[in-house]
Chains A and B, each alone.
Chain A
Amino acid sequence: MFIQVENLTKKFKNSLAVNKINFSIEKNKTVGLLGPNGCGKTTTIGMMLGLIKPSAGTIIIDNKNLEKTDRISLLNKMNFASPYVELPKRLTVKQNLEVYGRLYGVKNLDDKIKEISEELNLKIFLSKKTGELSSGQKNRVSLAKSLINEPEILFLDEPTASLDPDIGDYIRSYIQSYKTKKKITIFLASHNMAEVERLCDSIIMMKNGKIIDRGTCEEIIKKHGRNNLEETFLKLARSKDEV
């Protein structure tokens, strides 16, 4: 397994944000992390990115224990994009990509910025300040930053939140084609069920810090006797007991 999470637990003062979760992700697969607000998705991603120290459990990425290994070598292989995490607003798009390209030690950075800005239609914004862009444009810049180092593992937190259907579809198509082309592993947290169905090979459903179900979208929909993932999500989210 490329990513192996064992008994991962996070306790904040008196609340148990993540409670002994276990899952694994194969290389080149896209796994969706679903669950209602406050179920522990962001905390789980935070721990996998090394931003939050787990209270217990282990995260093994590419046969290396995240807590015990040199975190810099692992961070070089990862990246993250979220509309809730912004890039410096007063820097131009190009300056931001340059700064992060240098931080990730990207070789031939100018060529890489050119390539990625062409692919994500950012060329006309390169000299514009990031804070002056629209939400859709900012999301694309954030995605460009997350791909600047050609990560082996990409963490995405609601990558199309607050985007209009057209731009949302554009981003999803891009992620899909990028994954096929570069063969990367994607860990996606999303509330957009259509997006999850389209992009993910399998899903993990969380509630109250625990994993309550997992499998492919088809398997989970069938198991709960619903017509689609949205209905299945609502059933699981509203159920009083764990499944």
Chain B
Amino acid sequence: MRFDKIYALSLRHIYLICSSFPRIIDLIYWPTVQIFLWGFISKFFTLNSTYYSNTVGIILTAAILYDFLFRASISFNMMFLEEIWSRNFTNLFIAPIKISEIITSLTLTTIFRTLIGLVPATILAIPLFGVSIFKLGIPLLFLLLSLYIFGVTLGLLVASGLLRFGPAFESVAWASLFFLAPLGCIYYPIEILPNALQLIAKALPLVHIFEEMRNILLNNSVNWFQIIKSISISIIYFVFGVIVFYLSYFGAKVRGTLINMGE
């Protein structure tokens, strides 16, 4: 892999983000609205629920972490969709850049796009609701890493669908995360799920991430095994996502859909 190629493709997306003030506002707007919404819900639950009375803002912390996952996935999808919308697919795929470099570039630029949206909202939550995700301490970094890898994986799977089915797959891009959210146990413990669904949920990294987040906030203890498990599961899904992306790319070459793909 060549870093200059990865940088070149990242630059294309960085230019795009920085060239438009409304685009930056749009990136910041939705996470901020989420924080406000869940901030008030969290405040209400804290005052009226015995389960949440031990800690302030457990729901808001979950909302911020979930939004990080959501933004990572959507950012990856959006950057891939930008190539389709701008009818730039052919130019991109005839350029001397490897598929691994395209994936790396999108993965790295995702973090930039995600942080633009989430950092202001996260900082805003501290004075407004007295909730700081930094209370999670060092484990926060690893939880975010796991969420990031899984978010990029979802983005990769949606991008693979776009390669396979064309722009019509776009609607799935927006729905993909909501599909997994009920099984992710973001706002409730895994015990709430029926037994059969618990088995499926445990195969996702989300359950381990959010269970651990609640464990840290409620019990003031860190279960590193749970964190390592979540990262390991995320990496397995990521490898799977990369394989699916390569298969979709080669499939698109066979079907001839890389040429003239556009809106």
In the complex, A209→B262 CA distance in Å? 24
Which residue of B is nearest A80, CB measured?
B94
Q: Is A225 an interface residue (CB 8 A)?
A: no
Q: Is B11 an interface residue (CB 8 A)?
A: yes
Are A88 and B4 in contact, with the CB atoms below 8 A?
no
Are B4 and A105 in contact, with the CB atoms below 8 A?
yes
Q: Is B137 an interface residue (CB 8 A)?
A: no
Note all chain B residues with C-beta closer than 8 A to A84.
87, 260
A-facing residues in B44-101 (Cβ within 8 Å): 82, 86-91, 93-98
Q: Is B5 an interface residue (CB 8 A)?
A: yes
Are A103 and B19 in contact, with the CB atoms below 8 A?
no
Note all chain A residues with C-beta closer than 8 A to B20.
90
Are A79 and B94 in contact, with the CB atoms below 8 A?
yes
Q: Is B8 an interface residue (CB 8 A)?
A: yes
Are A103 and B95 in contact, with the CB atoms below 8 A?
yes
In the complex, A183→B89 CA distance in Å? 28
Using known A-B contacts A85-B90, A85-B91, determine if residue A72 contacts B82 with beta carbons closer than 8 Å.
no
Are B95 and A51 in contact, with the CB atoms below 8 A?
no
Note all chain A residues with C-beta closer than 8 A to B16.
88, 90-91
**Interchain CB contact (< 8 A) of B11 among A42, A87, A98, A104:** A98
In the complex, A120→B4 CA distance in Å? 27
Note all chain B residues with C-beta closer than 8 A to A46.
256, 258-259
B-facing residues in A88-102 (Cβ within 8 Å): 88-92, 95, 98-100, 102
Are A80 and B88 in contact, with the CB atoms below 8 A?
no
In the complex, A100→B82 CA distance in Å? 16
In the complex, A42→B256 CA distance in Å? 10
**Interchain CB contact (< 8 A) of A103 among B8, B82, B256:** B8
Note all chain A residues with C-beta closer than 8 A to B196.
none
B-facing residues in A66-86 (Cβ within 8 Å): 72-73, 75-76, 78-80, 82, 84-86
Note all chain B residues with C-beta closer than 8 A to A43.
256
Note all chain A residues with C-beta closer than 8 A to B96.
72-73, 75-76, 103-105
Are B97 and A103 in contact, with the CB atoms below 8 A?
yes
Binds A, one of B127-135, B151-159, B183-191, B247-255: B247-255
Q: Is the interface of A mostly helix, strand, loop or mixed?
A: mixed
Q: Is A145 an interface residue (CB 8 A)?
A: yes
Q: Nearest chain A CB to B203's CB is how many angstroms away?
A: 34
Note all chain A residues with C-beta closer than 8 A to B260.
42, 84-85
In the complex, A239→B251 CA distance in Å? 36
In the complex, A34→B11 CA distance in Å? 38
Note all chain B residues with C-beta closer than 8 A to A95.
11-12, 15, 19
Are A100 and B95 in contact, with the CB atoms below 8 A?
yes
**Interchain CB contact (< 8 A) of A10 among B7, B250, B256:** B256
Note all chain A residues with C-beta closer than 8 A to B11.
95, 98-99, 102
Query: CB-defined interface of B225-263 with A at 8 Å, one 1/0 digit per residue?
Result: 000000000000000000000000010011110111010
Are B94 and A90 in contact, with the CB atoms below 8 A?
no
In the complex, A82→B94 CA distance in Å? 13
Are B5 and A88 in contact, with the CB atoms below 8 A?
no
**Interchain CB contact (< 8 A) of A75 among B86, B87, B95, B258:** B95
Q: Is B116 an interface residue (CB 8 A)?
A: no
Which residue of B is nearest A49, CB measured?
B94
Are B82 and A75 in contact, with the CB atoms below 8 A?
no
Q: Nearest chain A CB to B39's CB is how many angstroms away?
A: 33
In the complex, A77→B95 CA distance in Å? 10
B-facing residues in A132-146 (Cβ within 8 Å): 145
Are B259 and A103 in contact, with the CB atoms below 8 A?
no
Which residue of B is nearest A55, CB measured?
B254
A-B contact pairs, 14 of them (CB 8 A): A53-B254, A73-B96, A75-B94, A82-B90, A85-B91, A87-B91, A88-B86, A88-B88, A90-B16, A103-B8, A104-B96, A105-B5, A129-B19, A145-B91
- Sorted nearest first, the 10 A-B pairs with minimum C-beta distance are A102-B8, A75-B96, A85-B90, A86-B87, A53-B253, A46-B259, A52-B256, A103-B95, A88-B86, A99-B12
Interface residues of B (CB under 8 A from A): 4-5, 7-9, 11-12, 15-16, 19-20, 82, 86-91, 93-98, 250, 253-256, 258-260, 262
13 more A-B contacts (CB under 8 A) besides A46-B258, A51-B259? Answer: A51-B90, A52-B256, A53-B250, A78-B94, A80-B94, A85-B88, A85-B89, A86-B86, A87-B88, A92-B15, A95-B12, A102-B11, A105-B5
